[in-house]
Every structure is written in structure tokens, then in C-alpha cells.
Amino acid sequence: MEILAFGVTADERPLLERAFAGEHEARCLEVLLTEDTAPIAAGYEIVSSSVNADLNARVLNILADGGTRMIAQRSTGFNNIDLDVAARLGMTVGRVAYYSPYSVAEFAWTLAMAVNRRIVRASIRTRDFDFRLDGLMGRDMRGRTVGVLGTGKIGEAFTRIAHGFGMNLLGWDVAENPACTALGMKYVDKDELFASSDLISLHVPLLESTHHVIDAAALKAMRDDAILVNSSRGGLIDTEALVAELRAGRFSGIGLDVYEAEAGVFFLDKSLEAVEDDTLARLVTFPHVVVTSHQAYYTSDAVGQIIETTVRNVADYLAGRRSENTLVPGPA
């Protein structure tokens, strides 16, 4: 059987093709799965999507009309899929419930240290043979306070690195993680975490209850010289409110690997097009803001695990099995 995979990067393609070689075959497309590209899937029973696919009701109906019966999403997040519609259409939907938490945790720290030590600005300067240190002063992390919003597997991995830096650890989650508590983490309410943290890192999923968890009020509660990092989901931050605070001269650094309106922008080359998103255009102009294109997960280890799990999800679907990765089981 041939599986059609959308949103496949050049680095991912050989891994995906090799993983499906043998009993199955993967046809890999660089284009993202959207309403415009969904007709390409006509005749394919199994379609694999990336995290920035748009699997709304219209897309799912197009896929179902073309004969698609299984969606194998190559990510942990699934807020881009209308699961209720998929269930009504009798489709099976699978995701990757787990992959290396270290990939995201380490990248979150990469962003934190990049903005703290002004690495991007310093690199641009030295490329122009400007070796001045003016404006490049950072600060030690040791002895300062980090607030970790969400202490699951990724949040725990981030906390372990923070512990290695010798930081004071604050956490917030619906349930405490004993591993984080053992490291000395103190669980507090969000307001105390915002007000007391020198560095805040977001590791909660995007749910109705967490949408804009960093809103205007939360931003105002943070220290003027705080560093904020988001490597989870863009919708956790009210970006317009963030830009307003940045315009007021607040915050020491912002590191964003995700953006709430990233669909149709991230993973694509927009360098020759006019920028239509005024908020994003303004955001990237701040010298102490670093924006990357949803690449925190993008290590050979994590991508390899994602692909291995996707192959298992396809095998489970064909065998009529369910697993922890099954979001919609399809017809019995």
C-alpha cells in the first residue's frame, strides 16, 4: 500500500521513505495538507499529515470523499484536526503521543540563552566585522528563578537543565511532578510564578483552558526584565498583547519557536512575498526577540521516533488495533 505524506521536509524524506520501505511505500510531498492540496489525496486510504496541516471540516470531507480512511499525524499536538468531524466521517486518526522530550527542552534553553546573551545580534555584528560589546550584556542564570509552566515530560527535562544551572525552581501544573519536586521545585499559582520568575518557559498543551494563558494581564504581572520562552504552541500567548508590552520597552528577551498564526507561514519560504501579518512583522523587528520556525522537535532522534511511531500507527490501523496514539478509532 502507498501512503501519502504531506509536509515532508528534505531531511525527513529519506527517513520516512526508508521506514515504510518493504510492505508499504511512502509518497512524500513538501506541500502542507490544506483545503487546496487535499484533492491530491484522492485514492489514498492512508494520509500522513504534519503539525501545520489544516484538517478542518472541509479538508476532512474532501479527504473522505477521495477515499481516505486514516489520518496519521506526525506530531504530538492535534489541535489542527477536527476530531468530531473525523469521527462522524468514520475516519481513524492517530498521532505520536511521545517522542524525545529532550529535543524540545534543549531547544527551549537554546532560545533562552540566545536572547539572554544576545547571540543573534553578536553574530550579525561580527559578520560585518563589528566587534564591539555594546548592548550585548547578559546575566548569569545561576541563582536566578525560573518558572516552568507545565511540568510533564518536556517540562521535567527543561527543569533538570535549569537545576544544572543552579536556579531556583518554580512550577505550575494541574498536577505536581514528583521528579520536579525532588529537584527542589516549588509549585505555586500562576500569578506568583509570573511575578517571581526571571525566566519563564511554556510547556503546556494548547487547550481551551490554556489558550492565551499568557494574556495582557499575565504579561503585565511579569518582571520588566524577564525572559519569556515558548516552544510549545503559539496560541498560549496573546501575541498582540506581547507586542504592546515590547513597544513599551519591557522584557529582557523573548524566544519564540511557535506563533499563534503560524499556519500557512511556518515551514514555507515567504522571503519573496509581501508580509501580510503585521503582528509577526512587528515582532521580528525587536532586537531582543528571536523567532524560529517551529523547529524545537527537529532532531534526528525525535524525528526518527516520530516516524517509527507513525509506521506503527499505520500497522495498528490495518490490523484493527488501538493504542495510546489513537485519537479517533474509526468504525468498529
Residue 246 contacts residue 224 (beta carbons within 8 Å):
no
Q: Which pTM was predicted?
A: 0.91
Does the active-site annotation cover 233? yes
Contacts of 159 (CB under 8 A, 6+ apart): 146, 148, 151, 169, 171, 180, 183, 185
Residue 232 contacts residue 205 (beta carbons within 8 Å):
yes
Contacts of 315 (CB under 8 A, 6+ apart): none
Following CA atoms 247, 276, 81, 107 in sequence, which dihedral angle do they give, to the nearest 10 degrees? Answer: -50
Q: Which of 95, 203, 233, 260 is catalytic?
A: 233
pLDDT the model gives residue 275: 86
Which residue is listed with cell 512524500? 28
- What number of CA atoms fall less than 13 Å from residue 331's CA on the CB side? 4
pLDDT the model gives residue 331: 83
Q: Which of 12, 156, 260, 262 is catalytic?
A: 262
Residue 288 contacts residue 139 (beta carbons within 8 Å):
no
Does the active-site annotation cover 260? no
pLDDT the model gives residue 332: 67
Does the active-site annotation cover 23? no
For the chain, list residues with pLDDT below 70: 332
C-alpha cell at position 5 = 505524506
Contacts of 232 (CB under 8 A, 6+ apart): 104, 150, 154, 202, 203, 204, 205, 206, 258
pLDDT the model gives residue 317: 95
pLDDT the model gives residue 114: 98
HEC string of 92-133 equals: EEECCCCCCHHHHHHHHHHHHHHHHCCHHHHHHHHHCCCCCC
Q: Which of 25, 294, 322, 324 is catalytic?
A: 294
